[in-house]
């Protein structure tokens, strides 16, 4: 009890000193290596799932650190945060506690692709994560650098099936054993930092890289294929040196939506939150980049960088002559620094200063910390099972940036799932997989383990083919119930809440469906809604809610005796009502896809046909490999799920046309496509 009153960092240190006197145990169910976004979720999920867990991280005070932008969520990423929260993970609640600017991105599009996002106070986020770790039962935290994994010698009778048995710390202390180990070393595996022409070993500014022994064990003893990737971060600017009056003001949302299903409000009220600002690069920026390319070795490296969060150097080279957006974002509620999102750069510090001063509002800007790049090893994730276990090594799990992803949210999502499965492994329970039909986490893991990565992977809504059903608003109903009943990582109180919400939403839907009035009466009762149906038409409450200007609150205030018990979930009720027909259709599509996985594809299929919508990259892969079935096409690296849906529709349509041409309309002339497929007997149905 007394510990709760002590600041989180001090409490952790106290806990450590207690461990030091009691000495960490020599045997755990699960050891998690690394206290970043993947590691903290993995350790707490493993402990929640019932495993005695040890989290080992290089520095206690950097546990939960935001290495780059202090922000959480966004398009696609926000879905992951909501899903991690639905499975009782930490990042959503930490985001609500530390958020200082909440906004929903993509709001002009439908709620299925809205992107909940918040700018965070770095310090508060880290403190929240640390205090959650401290209060998690069955979890011990230890400061230390893991030097090596302990693995059994290869067994000639079972080639490729070694078993991980624990870890060795760098300070030469005794080994610590575990039934399973989760590696979440982020950008630290053989990490090197780059500024200008100089390079130094490091996982992040101010942090040493992970020991070479770890990379060596993975590559040489376990025979894992690894690759090299790179990323970078912008310089941090002194806030008062930037003239924000010359940039466009972006206030936070007036009604900020929390990430966590357990929170009704964000910690900071809208009036306490801070604005962000938007500005653009100028031709002068491009000139400085071009003139300094020879002084910038990071940009010349072969390792692939993030395509979706590129450095200013990559942007200028790829899109010359453009003005690129730069967001000026606060680093914390009381921080004196600004984070210029979009200006990640690795040129020498004096040139970084010249570059930023080419932007009008930064004409007199001062740099607090220069930008830098980092290169690191990752493990090719096709070597993992859908539980994120290394297929060839028993008990070894990998999560986060080590699997070739980029971003806190992607790391957190993998960490949670690896932690759950590491606990299950240790407790002799079967591995679990999340399907891409039920979650973005399932999409993320399936993409990684079946397609691999050739550049840092980040989540987008376009990666999820069933996105109408996988919305941020319904992540609790998709995952909290399953998380409690089948996975064992969700608390009973969250489960009870999800059951209550499910009941209320079902009751509200039934009440709306059962309530019908003549269109003329609706018009009278809800004059603000432009109900266009003819006078005699009868409309249910569900149908009225589908009008653009209708809200559930309006119905509840017009007919409180029917609808007021449900106003707490007004927005969700409306989204459900609007999306239900599409979700029902999508359900059929999911079943159809599963059925038609075995469908054969014509040998002479024209993948370059303008009638099938897919990227040039996907067309080239399909044309090169010419998969014989849809299932084989699905598993091809680089073929996106949405391309598969288009391909399936195209083949089906062509087949229908062919049937019609031969059956119903014998006189009709075949189109070129139909003629191409006429007589082809290889379709399975």
**Which residues contact ligand FAD by CB under 6 A?**
33-39, 56-59, 62, 67-68, 145-146, 184-188, 203-204, 207, 210-211, 214, 231-233, 309, 344, 374, 400-401, 406-408, 411
- We find the least distance from the C-beta atom of residue 275 to ligand FAD, in angstroms, to be 22
Q: Whole-angstrom Cα distance, residue 550 to residue 462? A: 28
Q: Which is nearer to ligand FAD, 339 or 466 (CB)?
A: 339
Q: Which structure tokens are listed for 272?
A: 């306490």
Q: Whole-angstrom Cα distance, residue 544 to residue 559? A: 13
Q: Which is nearer to ligand FAD, 235 or 400 (CB)?
A: 400
Is 538 in contact with 518 (CB distance < 8 Å)? yes
- We find the least distance from the C-beta atom of residue 395 to ligand FAD, in angstroms, to be 18
Within 8 A by CB and 6+ apart from 436, the residues are 442, 443, 446, 464, 465, 466, 641
Q: Which structure tokens are listed for 487?
A: 């996975």
Q: Which is nearer to ligand FAD, 419 or 627 (CB)?
A: 419
Q: Whole-angstrom Cα distance, residue 292 to residue 576? A: 53
Place of tokens 């993998």: 414
- We find the least distance from the C-beta atom of residue 233 to ligand FAD, in angstroms, to be 4
Q: Which is nearer to ligand FAD, 56 or 384 (CB)?
A: 56
Helix axes of 77-86 and 475-482: crossing angle, nearest 10 degrees: 40
Instruction: Provide the CA 200 distance to its chain's centre, in angstroms.
Output: 30
SS3 category, 260:
coil
- We find the least distance from the C-beta atom of residue 567 to ligand FAD, in angstroms, to be 37
Q: Whole-angstrom Cα distance, residue 309 to residue 343? A: 10
Q: Whole-angstrom Cα distance, residue 469 to residue 478? A: 9
Q: Which is nearer to ligand FAD, 261 or 372 (CB)?
A: 372
Q: Which structure tokens are listed for 397?
A: 């799990």
Q: Which is nearer to ligand FAD, 33 or 444 (CB)?
A: 33
Q: Whole-angstrom Cα distance, residue 228 to residue 455? A: 9
Q: Which is nearer to ligand FAD, 54 or 262 (CB)?
A: 54
Q: Which is nearer to ligand FAD, 341 or 480 (CB)?
A: 341
Q: Whole-angstrom Cα distance, residue 606 to residue 622? A: 10
For residue 324, what is the DSSP state? P
Q: Whole-angstrom Cα distance, residue 427 to residue 419? A: 12
Q: Which is nearer to ligand FAD, 13 or 632 (CB)?
A: 13
Q: Which structure tokens are listed for 349?
A: 């510090």
Is 47 in contact with 53 (CB distance < 8 Å)? yes
The total number of residues shown for the chain amounts to 685
- We find the least distance from the C-beta atom of residue 273 to ligand FAD, in angstroms, to be 22
Q: Which is nearer to ligand FAD, 232 or 483 (CB)?
A: 232
- We find the least distance from the C-beta atom of residue 405 to ligand FAD, in angstroms, to be 7
- We find the least distance from the C-beta atom of residue 104 to ligand FAD, in angstroms, to be 19
- We find the least distance from the C-beta atom of residue 230 to ligand FAD, in angstroms, to be 9
Q: Whole-angstrom Cα distance, residue 60 to residue 16? A: 9
- We find the least distance from the C-beta atom of residue 201 to ligand FAD, in angstroms, to be 12
Residue least distant from ligand FAD (Cβ): 36
Q: Which is nearer to ligand FAD, 231 or 352 (CB)?
A: 231
- We find the least distance from the C-beta atom of residue 494 to ligand FAD, in angstroms, to be 23
Using alpha carbons, list the distances in angstroms from residue 146 to 12, 209, 217, 405: 19, 11, 12, 22
- We find the least distance from the C-beta atom of residue 216 to ligand FAD, in angstroms, to be 12
Residue 108: Cβ-neighbour burial (10 angstroms; 0-12, 13-18, 19+): exposed
Of 350, 381, 378, 380, the residue nearest 366 (C-alpha): 350
Q: Which is nearer to ligand FAD, 46 or 599 (CB)?
A: 46
- We find the least distance from the C-beta atom of residue 311 to ligand FAD, in angstroms, to be 9
Of 435, 361, 425, 364, the residue nearest 393 (C-alpha): 425
């Amino acid at each position: 009890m007394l510990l709760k009153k002590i600041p989180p960092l001090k409490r952790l240190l106290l806990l450590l000193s207690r461990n030091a006197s009691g000495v960490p145990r020599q045997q755990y169910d699960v050891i998690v290596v690394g206290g970043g976004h993947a590691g903290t979720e993995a350790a707490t999920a493993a402990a929640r799932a019932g495993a005695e867990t040890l989290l080992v991280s290089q520095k206690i005070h950097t546990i939960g650190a935001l290495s780059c932008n202090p922000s959480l969520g966004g398009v696609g990423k926000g879905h992951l945060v909501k899903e991690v929260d639905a499975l009782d993970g930490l990042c959503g609640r930490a985001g609500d506690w530390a958020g200082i600017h909440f906004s929903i991105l993509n709001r002009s599009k439908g709620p299925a692709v809205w992107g909940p996002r918040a700018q965070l106070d770095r310090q508060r986020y880290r403190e929240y994560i640390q205090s959650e770790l401290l209060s998690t039962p069955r979890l011990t935290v230890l400061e230390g650098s893991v030097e090596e994994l302990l693995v059994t010698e290869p067994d000639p009778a079972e080639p490729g099936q070694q078993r991980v048995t624990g870890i060795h710390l760098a300070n030469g202390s005794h080994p610590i054993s575990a039934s399973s180990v989760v590696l979440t070393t982020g950008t630290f595996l053989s990490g090197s930092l780059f500024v200008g022409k100089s390079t130094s070993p490091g996982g992040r500014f101010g942090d040493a890289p992970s020991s070479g022994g770890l990379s060596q064990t993975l590559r040489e003893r376990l025979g894992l294929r690894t690759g090299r990737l790179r990323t970078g971060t912008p310089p941090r600017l002194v806030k008062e040196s930037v003239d924000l009056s010359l940039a466009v003001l972006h206030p936070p949302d007036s009604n900020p939506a929390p990430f966590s299903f357990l929170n009704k409000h964000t910690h900071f009220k809208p009036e306490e939150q801070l604005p962000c600002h938007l500005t653009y690069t100028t031709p002068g920026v491009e000139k400085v980049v071009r003139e300094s390319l020879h002084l910038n070795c990071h940009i010349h490296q072969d390792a692939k960088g993030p395509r979706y969060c590129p450095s200013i150097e990559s942007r200028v080279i790829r899109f010359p002559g453009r003005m690129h957006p730069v967001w000026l974002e606060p680093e914390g509620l009381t921080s004196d620094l600004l984070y210029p999102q979009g200006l990640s750069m690795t040129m020498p510090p004096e040139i970084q200063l010249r570059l930023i001063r080419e932007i009008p509002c930064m004409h007199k800007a001062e740099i607090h910390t220069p930008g830098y790049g980092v290169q690191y090893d990752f493990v090719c994730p096709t070597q993992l099972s859908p539980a994120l276990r290394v297929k060839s090594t028993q008990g070894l799990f990998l999560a986060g940036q080590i699997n070739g992803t980029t971003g806190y949210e992607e790391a957190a999502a993998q960490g949670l799932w690896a932690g759950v499965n590491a606990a299950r492994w240790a407790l002799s329970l079967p591995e679990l997989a999340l399907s891409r039909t039920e979650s973005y986490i399932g999409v993320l893991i399936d993409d990684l383990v079946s397609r691999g990565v050739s550049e840092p992977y980040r989540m987008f809504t376009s990666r999820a083919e069933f996105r109408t059903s996988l919305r941020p608003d319904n992540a609790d109903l998709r995952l909290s119930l399953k998380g409690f009943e089948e996975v064992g990582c969700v608390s009973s109180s969250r489960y009870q809440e999800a059951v209550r919400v499910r009941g209320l939403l079902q009751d509200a839907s039934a009440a709306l469906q059962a309530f019908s009035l003549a269109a003329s009466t609706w018009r009278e009762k809800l004059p603000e809604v432009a109900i266009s149906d003819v006078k005699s038409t009868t409309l249910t409450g569900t149908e009225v809610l589908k009008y653009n200007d209708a809200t559930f609150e309006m119905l509840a205030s017009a007919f409180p005796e029917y609808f007021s018990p449900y106003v707490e979930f007004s927005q969700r009720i409306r989204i459900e009502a609007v999306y239900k027909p599409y979700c029902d259709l999508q359900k059929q599509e999911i079943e159809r896809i599963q059925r038609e996985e075995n469908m054969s594809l014509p040998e002479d299929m024209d993948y370059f046909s303008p009638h099938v919508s897919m990227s040039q990259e996907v067309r080239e892969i399909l044309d090169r490999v010419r998969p014989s079935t849809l299932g084989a096409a699905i598993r091809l690296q680089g073929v996106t799920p949405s391309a598969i849906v288009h391909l399936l529709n195209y083949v089906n349509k062509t087949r229908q046309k062919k049937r019609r041409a031969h059956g119903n309309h014998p006189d009709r002339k075949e189109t070129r496509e139909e003629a191409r497929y006429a007589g082809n007997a290889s379709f399975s149905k």
